[in-house]
Chain A
Amino acid sequence: MGRNFSFKGHTRRIARALVDTMMPRWPELEVDLTDRILDDVEGVVRGFPAAFQVGYVAGLWALEAASPLLGGGPQPFTRCDLETRERRLRALQDSKVPQLRQVLLLYGVFVTASAYAQPEVEAFLGVPRRAWRDARARFRERLVQMEASRPLRPATPEALGSHGVAPAATYLDEGTLAAEALRAMGE
């Protein structure tokens, strides 16, 4: 526990089974991201205070041992196939007991946040977030450079860009288009 926390032994198997059930899957995307997401989740839990870490692991074991009560036979969670595991988690998700739903939500947040930030998932969904971030940072660097050569900066709350630094129509274009727009303005 503490800052050396890691999922060990059977706890790791339960955590892996949970990640495997909660992560997204598309028939067209073949890459297996389970271990990468598991590592991310482990990293997040490592940042928790020790008491939370204990609670998190206890929750995993409760799922392993008590989930047969949610249907699909007597096997513990890790021994079930994907369909059964998913059915059990859906039973929790639809539970009348709000606390059970809320705990499931907490476990799901880390898996979902990690999964949808994986480059392969972003690429599959057509969201080039990393490239976008980089292009935007470069674009801003050039705006700042251009502005430095201007005699006056408009006072707050005026928008800086309203003084013709970059045209509104292409402001959110990818880096290259924005750069072209800047060139067109005679930079």
Chain B
Amino acid sequence: MREQVPRGIIQPHQTRGDVRETCDVVVMGSGAGGAAAAATLAEAGLDVLVLEEGAFHRTSEYGANATAMFSALMRDGGATATIGRAPVPYMEGRCVGGSTVINGGMCWRTPEDVLDHWAGAMGLPDLAPAALDPLFDEVEATINARYQDPGSEGGNNEVFRRGAEKLGWKYQRNKRNQIHCVGSNECVTGCPSGAKQSTVYSWLPRVFARGGRLMTHCKVTKVLVERGRAVGLAGTLDDPHRRRKFVVRAKAVVLAGGAVQTPLLMLRNKIAPKNEHVGRHFTIHPNIKVAALFEDRVESMRGVHQAYQCTEFKKRGILLAPGGIPLMFTAVAFSDFGRRLAERMRDYHHIATGGVLVDDFSSGRIMAPLGIPLVKYDVTDIDQEKFVEAAGLLATLYFAAGAKEVYLPFHGYPVLKSVDDVKKLHDHMPRVEDTEYFTAHLMGSCRMHGDPRQGVVGPDGQCWDLPGLYLADASVMPGTIGVNPQVTIMALARLIALRLADKLQRRAAA
């Protein structure tokens, strides 16, 4: 039976002309932060309208043509990258569900030492572990953060586990937001089986159940400000037939466009022009990929994207993980082309892929000179040393698992044939400019801070410089966390929304 479009979703063909709406709270974005905030507000009895730039896609519409899915689900077809010493490609979901539709589904709570730091040094006592634990429980229950069904892991995860076990390195099973993930390994182009519990299947149904609405194809371009207060959002409705406008007025405005789009909107609208933190402190958990060739078949196609993480080196800011990717992305991972790449890909069945993720000391900046989006980020030499060390560790793990060869993403670097080659890595330290990075975790560009001079929003998520404007997405993260961020983002968004609901209800009662 064909999946229905949920009641509550309003698509362009359901409205005519320019749209004018009023509600209690208008939320920009339906990703991890926006959807969690919207559900919390709707369940508090508030009239909520979510504005989403992208389209709604049914599970059956997550198709096998990867390039078409990139265009359908991602901003700029996924061809986005930071600028700096080396470009770092990144992706932003642009569809109902945001980046949760294209993410890997790994679910980790914010580490306690990070929360202690936020609660103490950053003046945010409400983010202490004891305060956030109940929120993490709620988030995990809502998104079904579970261990994989036994047997769904697949060969790519198995070789990783084998290597970690041989070396006696600590590894942990991932929780993932899924119900019977069957290991089709296509997470990045939308889960074709409906197993992944993106916000489309977790938070948004809760919004609709309480009468909340979501308008698709609505690109917010303007924050309406009256008498020094945010009172609504306006923008363009991307109707395939003609460009229309919308204006939504509300008692409170929540921005949740993600760590790049939220500060961009603020900068373009000259909101908080004197606050130098808008767009700054942007961290990305850069990562690099490593591939290994085995004698036996690995069969990356079968199995979940990532079932384990090796946390042995977490204290040094290094996380190692398998990363199963479909054939086309494995080919892309080799950064080669033509006939030479074609020859290598004959071995596809024997190739395992993984990656290393590093806590970044560097931070970047989102800018909008003349309104043009620029995302600046430089990997520092200190971080690079960690990358080289981490790549060596992952290579060691793969050799322990029986790899014949390991390929590292350092330009001009020879294929490693044994652990002895790993030792030589530090003799010719690969430069930042010669390294191919990637990131999926964009954070902290409008950080929360207890001191108005140090951040963009306060502990309640409200902008220090514009009452009525709340931020509830990855941009408010007070700093880098060293683990996958969606659970943290949802918990923060829920916390912010609970406070906001309380405030609005008290105001209404008064």
A interface list, Cβ under 8 A from B: 21-26, 40-41, 43-49, 51-52, 86, 89, 93-94, 98, 101-102, 105-106, 108-117, 122, 125-127, 129-130, 132-133, 136-137, 139-141, 143-144, 147, 155-162, 165-172
Contact = CB atoms under 8 A, between A and B. Distances in A.
Nearest to A49: B76
Given A25-B339, A112-B332, A129-B326, A165 B71 contact: no
A156 B144 contact: yes
B206 interface: no
Interface of B: 64-68, 70-71, 76-77, 79, 81, 86-87, 140-141, 144-152, 154, 175, 179-180, 182-184, 186, 192-195, 301-303, 326-332, 335-339, 341-342, 345-346, 348-349, 372, 411-412, 433-434, 436
Q: Name the 3 nearest CB pairs between A and B, nearest first.
A: A161-B149, A171-B151, A168-B151
Contacts of B348: 125, 127
Instruction: Decide if the interface of chain A is mainly helix, strand, loop or mixed.
Output: helix
Given A125-B327, A147-B180, A47 B193 contact: no
A120 to B, nearest CB: 13
B342 A25 contact: yes
A168 B149 CA distance: 8
A105 B335 contact: yes
Nearest to B85: A98
Contact of B147 (A22, A101, A102, A157): A157
A113 B66 contact: yes
B180 A165 contact: yes
Of the listed residues A129, A141, A143, A168, the one surrounded by the most CB atoms of chain B closer than 10 A to its CB is A129
Contacts of A147: 180
Contacts of A43: 67-68, 71
Contact of B303 (A49, A109, A157, A172): A172
Nearest to B66: A117
Nearest to B186: A133
B334 to A, nearest CB: 8
Contacts, number: 198
6 contacts: A98-B434, A108-B336, A112-B331, A113-B332, A126-B349, A139-B182
Contacts of A46: 71
A94 B349 CA distance: 28
Contact of A113 (B328, B339, B434): B328
Nearest to A114: B67
Contacts of B186: 133
A113 to B, nearest CB: 5
Contact of B64 (A41, A101, A117): A117
B179 A98 contact: no
A80 B406 CA distance: 35
Contacts of A47: 70-71, 76-77, 79
B328 A159 contact: no
B332 A159 contact: no
Contacts of B346: 26, 125
Contacts of A89: 337-338
Nearest to A162: B150
B328 to A, nearest CB: 4
Contact of B338 (A21, A155, A157, A166): A21
Contact of A23 (B148, B192, B338): B338
B77 A22 contact: no
B154 A172 contact: yes
A78 B433 CA distance: 30
Contacts of A168: 149-151
Contact of A102 (B66, B86, B146): B86
Given A24-B341, A48-B77, A170 B64 contact: no
A114 B332 CA distance: 10
B71 A44 contact: yes
Nearest to B342: A24
Contact of B180 (A49, A98, A110, A140): A140
Contact of A129 (B70, B327, B345): B327
A106 B87 CA distance: 10
Most buried by A among B81, B152, B193, B303: B193
B70 to A, nearest CB: 7
Contacts of A170: 151
Nearest to A108: B337
A52 B333 CA distance: 23
A139 B145 CA distance: 21
A52 B79 contact: yes
A123 to B, nearest CB: 11
B193 A86 contact: no
B8 to A, nearest CB: 23
